[in-house]
Amino acid sequence: MPPPLLQLKDIALTFGGTPLLTGAELSVSTGERISLVGRNGSGKSTLLKIAAGSVEPDRGSVFVQPGASIRYLPQEPDFGAFATTLAYVEAGLGPTDDGHAARYLLEQLGLTGEEHPAHLSGGEARRAALARVLAPSPDILLLDEPTNHLDLTTIEWLERDLAARRTALVIISHDRRFLSTLTRATVWLDRGQTRRLDRGFAHFEEWRDTVLAEEEREQHKLDRKIVAEEHWLRYGVTARRKRNMRRVGELQALREQRRTFRASAGSATIVASTAADSGKLVIEATGVGKSYEKRPIVSSFSTRVQRGDRIGIVGPNGSGKTTLINLLTGALEPDTGSIRLGANLAIATLSQHRDSLDGDTTVADALTAAGGDTVHVNGQAKHVVSYMKDFLFTPEQARTPLRKLSGGERGRLMLAQALAKPSNLLVLDEPTNDLDMETLEMLEEMLGDYPGTVLLISHDRDFLDRLVNGVIAPEGSGRWIEYAGGYSDMLAQRGADLTRDPRKAEPLKAVREGTKDVVAIADAPEPAKRRMTFKDKHALETLPGTIAALQAEAEALQAKLAEPQFYARDRAGFEKVSGELGDLERRIAAAEEQWLALEIMREELAGG
C-alpha cells in the first residue's frame, strides 16, 4: 500500500454546541477513487473543507504529502472580482501548469471564457468552477456535488474526463450512477465518524444495511445485558455486596455506554396525498408546436399518456424540457396542435426553483400555507411538527426562516409542500436535487406505490432507470421522440447518447397503442411486408444467452478494475482491461439492440 497523499486522522469539530465530527478519518492515496457519502447535514462538505485546508478542526491532524497538489470544488464557488470566466479559471493554475488547458476546458464545457461571472446561470457557474479545478490536473480532486445544475450531456462528458485522468478523486454526489461509475472505495460519514469500504459506491447500500442491522443487534444485546445486571443488583445476595462492587461499576459503565450511544437518524416517511382516480386517458397531445423568437422548442409532437404511466423527460439545459412539460399539463398554450387533458385531473407540481421560496417564511408557515398548526394529508389532519418529522426536520426547525435552510432541506420542504396537495398527476422538475441517499430511496418507493401518473424531468440516470416506463428526449430543431423503458433503454434504442447529431442516426421511436408501448424504427419499411428468416429466428433464440455471457465477462472485468491499487500497480494492465470492458459494453449494447429489433418484428408480424 503506497503512502497516502492526504490523511485526516481523529478529526473533531463542533458547531453551536452540537458535535458534527467526533473522530472522522480520510486517507487518499495516488489514483484512488473514493465516494464520500452520508446524510444531509452529516458533515461531508465540512470534512472536504478540512481536507482542502479551508476549515480548521477542533482536534485531529491533517497531513498532505509534500509537493502534492489538491484542488477543491465547493458547492458555491466564489468568483470574487474576476472580469471573465477565463480569468477566473486561469487564476487556479500553478506556475508549471499548461496555460492552454483553461481555454480548452471552458470550450469543452460550452463556455467561451468571455462570460462575466456575475451573469452566469447555475449550470454555467458550475461548469466554470469545474474548469478551474480540472485545468491544473492536480494529484487530488475534492469534488462537492460536481453534477449539481449540470445537464445529462455535461455529466456524461465529466464522467469520461474524470475516468481518463490519473488524479485521485474524493466525490460527494447525490448522483448514484456517477458515483458507481467512477469510484472504487466508499467512505461513509455517519454520526460524526467514518467507516471505509474498499469497494465502489455500487456496493454501498447493501454494506450500509448490513452494518446498521448488526449495530441494532448489538444494541439489543446490550439492553438485555443491562436488564439482567439490574435484576442481579436488586435481588442478588446481600452478603456478596462488598465482593461485587466491581460488577456494580460495570453496570454503571453499561448504562453510560447505552446513554451515549447515538442512534442512526430515522428514515424519511414520504407519503403523497392522493385524489380520486383520473380518467384512463390523462394527456393526449396532437401535433403540438411551440416557438420562441422563431426558434422551435417543440415541433409537431404527439403522445398519449395513460393513467399510471411514469414518463421521464431528459435533454440538455435549454432544450425545452420545462416548456414541453408545461404544454403537456396545460400550463402553456401551444402555437400549433392541441392538448386534451383527461377527466378528473388533480395536478401537484414540484418546481426545481428552490430560490422561489420566501426566505423570511418559517418552515411551519410554508407547510400550513394559511397558518395554523395542521397539515391535511389524505384527508387526515396532521400536526405540522409531526409532518415535518416525516421529512427529517426537527421540531426546533418549525420557526426557522427558509433562508437558513441548506439546499437539501429546501428540497425536502418543497417536496413536502407538493405531496401534501391531493393529486392523481405528479409533475416533478428535478426532484432529486440535493437529496441524500436515504431520502432518495424513500422518494423512489413512494413514487413506485403512487396510484396516479408521474411526469418527471431529471438528470439522474439511475433514478430514471428505476422509476420510469417511458422517456422523451430531444432530437434537435424542436423534435422530440418518446422511447419505451428507462434512460438506459432509451440509449440502447437510440444508438447514441444525447450529444450525437440527430441528423446522422435513425432513432427507435416508441409509439403508444392503448396501454401498450410498441417500439418501431423511424422511417423503416412496414414490418408486415417482411418475414423472419431462419437466421433471424435463430438469432432471436440465441441472443439472450449471448448477452448473458457477455455481461458475465463484463462483470469479471469490472471486478478486476475495482481491485485496490490495480492502477498504481499496473497502469498498462489497467488501461488494457478498461479498453476490453469498453469493447464488451459496446458488444452488449449492439446485441441488446439487435434482439430488441427482432423481438419487435416478431410481435408485429404475429399481430399483423
Q: Which pLDDT does position 437 carry in this prediction?
A: 78
Cα separation of 92 and 90, whole Å?
5
Identify any residues that bridge with 188 across adjacent strands, giving them in sequence order: 37, 195
| Chain center to CA of 82 | 32
Q: Which pLDDT does position 513 carry in this prediction?
A: 35
- The list of the chain residues with pLDDT below 70 reads 1, 16, 220, 222, 226, 228-252, 254-268, 352-356, 370-371, 496-535, 607-608
Please provide the DSSP assignment of 382-405 as one string: EEHHHHHHHTT--GGGGG-BGGGS
Identify any residues that bridge with 73 across adjacent strands, giving them in sequence order: 143
Q: Which pLDDT does position 526 carry in this prediction?
A: 36
At 381, which helix (H) or strand (E)?
A: strand 380-383
Cα separation of 264 and 16, whole Å?
21
Q: Which pLDDT does position 523 carry in this prediction?
A: 35
Span 431-451, pLDDT tens digits = 887 777 777 888 888 888 889
Identify any residues that bridge with 141 across adjacent strands, giving them in sequence order: 71, 169
Amino acid identity for residue 278 in this structure: S
Q: Which pLDDT does position 607 carry in this prediction?
A: 65
Does residue 464 contact residue 443 with C-beta atoms inside 8 Å?
no
Place of cell 487564476: 91
Cα separation of 520 and 604, whole Å?
9
At 228, which helix (H) or strand (E)?
A: helix 204-235
C-alpha cell at 224: 438485555
Neighbours of 585 (CB within 10 A): 15
| Closest alpha carbon to 21 in 218, 212, 196, 193 | 193
3-state secondary structure of 336: strand
Q: Which pLDDT does position 378 carry in this prediction?
A: 78
| Crossing angle of helices 245-260 and 204-235, rounded to 10° | 140
DSSP state of 145: S
At 109, which helix (H) or strand (E)?
A: none
Cα separation of 17 and 265, whole Å?
19
Give 289: exposed, middle or buried? Use CB within 10 Å, 0-12, 13-18, 19+: middle
3-state secondary structure of 469: coil
Place of cell 414520504: 270
Show the CA angle centred on residue 480, arms to residues 345 and 154, nearest 5°.
Answer: 105
Does residue 527 contact residue 604 with C-beta atoms inside 8 Å?
yes
Q: Which pLDDT does position 252 carry in this prediction?
A: 67
Cα separation of 144 and 172, whole Å?
5
| Closest alpha carbon to 510 in 542, 541, 487, 482 | 482
The answer for residues whose C-beta is within 8 angstroms of residue 240's C-beta and 6 or more apart is: none
- Parallel, antiparallel or unpaired: strands 70-73 and 140-144: parallel
Show the CA angle centred on residue 546, arms to residues 541 and 547, nearest 5°.
Answer: 105
Does residue 43 contact residue 188 with C-beta atoms inside 8 Å?
no
Span 335-361, pLDDT tens digits = 999 999 999 999 998 876 655 577 788
Identify any residues that bridge with 513 across adjacent strands, giving them in sequence order: 516
Please provide the DSSP assignment of 341-367 as one string: E-TT--EEEE-S-GGGS-TTSBHHHHH
Alpha-carbon torsion 220, 221, 226, 232, what sign? positive
